[in-house]
Each structure stands twice: as C-alpha cells, then as structure tokens.
Amino acid sequence: MKINGKTKTCGLIGKPVEHTMSPTIHNTLAKKLGIDLVYVPFLVEQNLTAAVKGAYALNVLGMNVTVPYKSDVLKEICEVDSLAGQIGAVNTLVRVNGGYKGYNTDMTGLYRAMTGYGIKIEEEEVIILGAGGAARAVAYLCVHYGAKKVYILNRSVDKALSIAEEIRETTGKNCIEAMALQDYTKLSEEKKLCIQATSVGLSPNEEEAVIEEEAFYQKIHTGYDLIYRPTNTKFMQLVKAQGGQAYHGLKMLLYQGIEAFELWNQVQVSEALCDEVYEVMKGEMGIEE
C-alpha cells in the first residue's frame, strides 16, 4: 500500500505485542475495503498515560488495548461506553474531541462469534470456568444478554464470590452464583452452555483441562473455549467426547477486531468479508479446520 500524509493510523498498545494477530485483521480489512489506513503494534513498556496522550497528539485514529492495560486505561480516557464501564475493562479506543472513548469489543466480539455458531445466551444456564479478568467480563456479558443462570466455577471460590457479588450490585440481577470447581456435582442434570475462560490448555499445558471428569461434561451441550491456539483444546475434546458441540476462540479474536475497525471507520463489514479475513488469519497461523 502507498502511505502518505492522508493515511490514517491505528494501532495496538500493550506488553507484549510481538505475536499479535491484530495487524493481519486490520490491514487486510483496510486493503479489501480500499480504506487508506495502516495498523501497527506499539510496545508500551511503562507510562501508559504518556502513550495515550502521545497517540492523541500524533492524531492516531484509534487503538486496541491488550494486557496488562485493559483496566488501567480507563483512567486515561475521556469517555467510556456503558458496557465497558460495567465490565471495568476496555480494549478499543476511538478518537473523540479531547481524547478517546473506550469500548469493550472483546465481549461483543465473543457474543457475535457465538451467535454466528448458533450459540445463544438468552435464557440459558451458563457455566463459566475461571474467575480472572476474562471470566469476569464473560460473566457480565452473560448477565447483560439475559442468561437465566450463571455459575462461576473456580479453584478459589473467594475470587468467584467477589465477581458474583460485584455483578449483583452493579446490575441489580441475582442470577449469578459462585462455586468451587469440585462442586459441579451439585449442578442440575439439565445440559448447559460452558465458557472456558482460564489459561489452562495453552502451551505448554495443551493436555490439561480445568475439570477432566466425564461427569462434568455430561452436563454440557456446548463448550466455547476462549483459547484459539491450539484449536482443539483438551476442554473441547472432553466436551465432544460426551456428545457436545465445542468451539475455539479464534472467531472471537476476529470479531473483536472487526467491531473495532467498524467503530474507527464508521463502516459495516459484511459477513462475507469477515469470512475472508478469517481465512487469512488461519493461513498465517497454519490452522486447518
């Protein structure tokens, strides 16, 4: 592409950023839509305040935010979308007068990916494995989109309790319950949606799952793992072994990027183009499905 004084700049701030797939998503979209935009990763070792102010001073159109800054960046922006405010984490900054407005397209991207697979949250009983930042955001998402019941299962039940109490206070809804991992036996036999929101299953622990007992997976009709590499985690294998459907998180990564691109450029990306970008991502990662 030709870069000149009219080229818009977007990027990613975080630590680390070396292995991000975001440039593939955004630069492919810009090329296919004929938008004069370039997307680059920015390693921010420290001083997030200077990074955000510097980006605004340099006329950067928008940025994605990755670990470890998704919560800290809230202090550096002038506006925040209501869902991102509830979740307490931002992954997309959109330039507005005087600074940036923050959004959480991680969760809307997850919702879009799941609905694309025919998975619904509304009126579902949902199990969330884990009680870290990702699990907290997923719990907010499930409550926001009308889950009938949300169970947060975690090794440390105190962390799960903290999330459940916070969501009850913030949303006024009482559909969320915290449980220790081993207490899954107390769940009803009605089959549920399960979202795997821990790092268990990532390299070098590909052969591990948070829960490995067959009895747990007999309660699951659909499993969604936020991990996208490997593309067939032990969690997914266990879901499928008990007759359930299972999906990895690469489309969540795709759609969080798509939604950020749409916010920055005020465009709608077609599903056909989403599919094209997804194929490019799989090609770069050497994934075959």
Q: Does residue 241 share a domain with residue 112?
A: yes
| Whether 73 and 144 share a structural domain | no
Catalytic residues: 70
Q: What is the extent of the structural domain holding 163?
A: 108-248
> Do 277 and 238 reside in the same domain of the chain?
no
* pLDDT score of 160 more than 70: yes
Specify if 1 maps to a domain: no
Strand partners, 8: 37
We report the CATH number of the domain holding residue 61 as 3.40.50.10860
Residues 94 and 200 in one domain: no
Shared domain check, 131 and 115: yes
Does residue 114 share a domain with residue 199?
A: yes
Tell me, yes or no, whether 3 lies in a domain: no
Q: Is residue 118 part of a domain?
A: yes
Q: Domain count of the chain? A: 2
- pLDDT tier at 289, thresholds 50, 70, 90: low
Helix (H, G, I), strand (E, B) or coil at 161: helix
Q: Are residues 226 and 280 in the same domain?
A: no
Contact at 8 Å (CB) between 129 and 196?
yes
Query: What SS3 state is found at 96?
Result: strand
* Contact (Cβ atoms closer than 8 angstroms) between residue 157 and residue 91: no
Q: Let me know if residue 55 belongs to a domain.
A: yes
**Is 2 among the domain residues?**
no
What's the CA gap between 24 and 106, in Å, rounded? 17
**CA-CA distance, 222 to 230, in Å (whole number)?**
18
Answer whether residue 280 shows pLDDT above 70. yes
168 plus 263 within the same structural domain: no
The answer to whether residues 166 and 200 belong to one domain is yes
Q: 120 and 204 in one domain?
A: yes
Angle at 246 between CA 128 and CA 236, to 5 degrees: 75
Q: Do 242 and 255 share a domain, yes or no?
A: no
**Both 235 and 279 in a single domain?**
no
> How far is the CA of 203 from the CAs of 90, 200, 207, 230, 240, in angstroms?
26, 9, 9, 8, 21
pLDDT in tens, 11-60: 999 999 998 999 999 999 999 999 999 999 999 999 999 999 999 999 99
pLDDT tens per residue, range 95-128: 999 999 999 999 999 999 999 999 999 999 999 9
The CATH number linked to 211 is: 3.40.50.720
In the chain, the percentage of residues whose pLDDT exceeds 90 is 91
